[in-house]
Structure 1
Amino acid sequence: MIGWTKGFLKKVARRYFVYDHHIRMAKNLASAANRRLLKTRFDVIVAPASLAQVAFLETDIPVIIVEDATFALLLDYYPQYSDMLSHSIEQMQAVTVRGMRKASALVYSSAWAAQSAINEYHINSRKVYVVPMGANFDDPPDEEIIERKKRSGICKLLFVGVDWQRKGGEIAFETLLALAQIGVPAELTVCGCTPPKNRSHPAMKIIPYLDKNEPLHYEKLAQLYQEANFLLLPTRNECFGIVFCEANAFGLPVITACTGGVPEIVRNGKNGFVLPLDARGDAYALLIASLYRDEALYAQLVLSSRAAYDERLNWDNWGIAMNDIITNVLCRRVVRHEVSRQVVG
């Protein structure tokens, strides 16, 4: 019934209704979780992207929320959070606020998102943390392989994304054409989506879909990262971008756009470059050409890109930070209980 309602509203009212963050749905989700919590003892609840699921939980178990953005940031930023019904906005804000207040800690992948929780939702900064996420590859190449990575005879650009428009596919295509105009032989591999029919080029290869859960697809994607010279993703909307972490794991520099949390992940001259959001293909082409033509500069950028993965953008670091956060949350709970016991006593 809820799914039908969503489709009905989108068709008739021409606006979106985010049904999974409706108060009624949030209460149903919490009810199911409450029944499970009665059966098993837990010390802490870690809830990735689950504000709606925890908003109405009936438990004193500490809850740690893991998110890459707040609703305030998503509203009118991502297409699916634009043109929303006012009732849906009210419902989602109510669920968001209740979930945030329920949480003992909120972990965000960027300061861009964390500051929104503090400034726009008035969450105590003591329970807000910033922990970048990592690359979804179990076995990235050894550093020795990265050190041997050289620029290829043709500048190989890799575009990885499921949404051609949102990920900046038009600008990536413009970049390919602009590189040819300034005398840089290049090829563009598009992985994860199919460009419009009028966006074709002899130097553009399209791989519509790869599933990392399939061993052959996993190996193919790893090969694409390994063989490319740059990850080119002029994304229009991005909260974090695990694809950037994956590229850096292969020593692949990232060329992207300044939006959302991206400038915190990709640092100019370290693991790639971030161009202004209004930059078009000619600007991307000039930057890529300057890096590609300087062999020593490119080699250094490859090494510093892998260093960004080793030092910041991997799940081991995320796990260590999360362990510290969980420990802090549990310690604070013990202290509160002890203070409460002494007051009662």
Structure 2
Amino acid sequence: HYAIPHATSAYLAKKALHGKVKIVTTLHGTDVYLLGLNPSYKAIVEFSMENSDSLIAVSEFLKKETLEKFSITRPIAVIPNFVNPEKYKRTGRGKEKIICHISNFRPLKRVADVVQIFGMIVKERDCRLYLVGEGPTKHPAQKLVEKLGLEEKVYFRGNVGDVSRILGKSNLFLLPSQQESFGLAALEAMSSEVPVVATRVGGLPEVIRHGKDGYLAKVGDLDTMAEYCLKILTNESLAKKMGREARMRVLEK
């Protein structure tokens, strides 16, 4: 998993074993459009991919990005991420609506957008926001929550060992990312019958069908995302239908 450092280490191990092992490298995203494009790493990333016996990308988007940005001749197979539907499924949900966001709180995840969108939603519909994860933008997000006076409605849960429990009782998953090579968190939510409102970037359109099991919007279009969220939160029959469609999507994939 990941072209750097794991594929590089695997190549060295293969040489030490005189080529008696095969290297299968799975590209996840940051190894391609973050580390891979750094001038300090690009050559070794390209070398590691080209010298793998098999290359896998988690989405068609990531395959396309890799072929455009690197000079490799090795064919790339697309094998999407998957989740265990027996683990991620709907559980009991209370009367108060819960919006959930799970990420590593990197700038690309745009957690501030999550908070701002929630600020718009809570003016129209009583609900709570669970922010799950840790990362560099957590503190700024906490400051924004205080600035908007949302402290009693926003819960920073930190790193959670089993996010399925939170997803199982959530009503909506919000993912306003700048970039997503696939969107595994969205897939976990969908398996839990949770409609997803996300950005139309990267591999997300390969996972979420706009208007059927979730909604997609442009990056930074907070008003539209808030509108989509309210559409789901205020229409119980629509929310249930989208939730069922989302889980079926996971089972079919």
Alpha-carbon distance between aligned partners in 2 of 1:198 and 1:297, rounded to the nearest angstrom: 31
Percent same amino acid at aligned positions? 17
1:226 corresponds to which of 168, 186, 208: 168
Match status 1:114 vs 2:63: yes
2:24 and 2:249 mapped to 1: Cα distance?
26
C-alpha distance in 1 between matches for 2:73 and 2:86 = 36
- The equivalences for 1:1-345 within 5 A come to 49=3, 50-56=6-12, 57-58=14-15, 59=19, 61-69=21-29, 71=31, 73-74=33-34, 89=39, 91-124=40-73, 127-135=75-83, 139-141=87-89, 146=90, 153-163=95-105, 165-181=107-123, 183-193=124-134, 194=138, 195-200=141-146, 201=150, 202-210=152-160, 212=161, 218=162, 221-280=163-222, 282-312=223-253
Aligned length: 238
Cα-Cα RMSD = 2.7
TM-score (norm 2): 0.81
In structure 1, what is the Cα distance between the partners aligned to 2:210 and 2:131? 24
- Of residues 193-202 and 238-247 in structure 1, the stretch that sits farther from structure 2 once superposed is 193-202
* Structure 2 gap segments, 5+ residues each: none
Q: Deviations over 1:11-57 (max 9, x none)?
A: xxxxxxxxxxxxxxxxxxxxxxxxxxxxxxxxxxxx55423223444
Structure 2 match to 1:340: none
| Greater RCO, 1 or 2 (C-alpha within 8 Å, sep 6+) | 2
1:120 counterpart letter in structure 2: K
In structure 2, what residue type is equivalent to 1:196?
A: Q
In structure 2, the partner of 1:19 is: none
Matched residues in 2 for 1:310 and 1:277: separation? 28
8 Å Cα contact 1:236/1:257 also seen in 2? yes
TM-score by length of 1: 0.61
Query: Alpha-carbon deviation of 1:198?
Result: 4.1
Which protein is bigger by CA-based radius of gyration? 1
8 Å CA contact 1:135, 1:243 repeated in 2 = no
The secondary structure found in structure 2 opposite 1:197 is helix
Question: What CA deviation, in whole Å up to 9, does each residue of 1:38-84 have, x standing for no partner?
Answer: xxxxxxxxx55423223444215432211123755226xxxxx78x5
Deviation at 1:124, TM superposition (A): 4.1
Change (3 A) 1:118 1:206: closer
Q: State the 4+ residue runs in structure 1 displaced beyond 6 angstroms.
A: none
Q: Conserved in 1, the CA contact under 8 Å of 2:194 and 2:246?
A: yes
* CA distance 1:153–1:139, shift in 2 (3 Å): closer
Distance 2:238 2:244 in 1: 10
Query: Could you list the per-position Cα deviations for residues 85-140 of structure 1 after superposition, in whole angstroms to 9, with x for gaps in the alignment?
Result: xxxx1x42221222222122211001111123333334447x31111112378633
Q: Which amino acid aligns with 2:33?
A: L
Structure 1 unmatched ranges of 5 or more: 1-46, 76-80, 213-217, 313-345
Alignment partners' CA distance in 2, 1:235 and 1:94: 28
